[in-house]
Amino acid sequence: MKKRLAMSLCGPFLLASAGALAQAPAAEHAGMLKAVRGSVQLLDTDGTARPAHAGDAIAPIDRIVTEADSAASLVLRDGTRMVVGPSSRLDLKQFHFDPATRDGGLLVSLLRGSLRMVTGLIGKTQPDAVRVETQTATIGIRGTDFIVQAGAQQ
């Protein structure tokens, strides 16, 4: 009887704890792929590549690689929207965002190809905290919608 009572009291707590643990890693993700067209790969820091699919989480240090006639769109946790064009390589070098304080920072590096970006809350509340690098320049973003093209299309 005591065992059954203990289980009935602990069961909901354990389920809630498991749910909280399952949600914890999501805070480590920078955002999510919303759409993928063609051949798109996600590379993590050790160079491991995996095919990208809509709904995949993006880590704050992932590289997105698109082939010719391919593209990917993603949304970061602060609402920033990006479209990575064909034959592109984009590194998400830094991303941190606290929804409670709206404090954060974003640094992306476009190694090759094209990127369209509409800034989210970080760009609105801290415009100096959003930057895009190319091989020849670093662009400070002041809350806007823009397109960047870099390097040779390969």
Cα 48–chain centre separation: 17
User: What are the structural domains, with CATH classification, of the chain?
Assistant: 29-150 (2.60.120)
Largest separation between any pair of C-alpha atoms in the chain? 73
Phi-psi map region of 17: left, alpha, beta (phi>0 left; psi -120 to 50 alpha): alpha
CA distance linking residue 118 with residue 108, whole number of Å: 13
Over the stretch 55-77, which tens digit does the pLDDT of each residue have? 999 998 899 999 999 999 999 99
Whether the full predicted model's pTM is greater than 0.85, yes or no, is: no
Over the stretch 101-142, which tens digit does the pLDDT of each residue have? 999 999 999 999 999 999 999 999 998 899 999 888 776 766
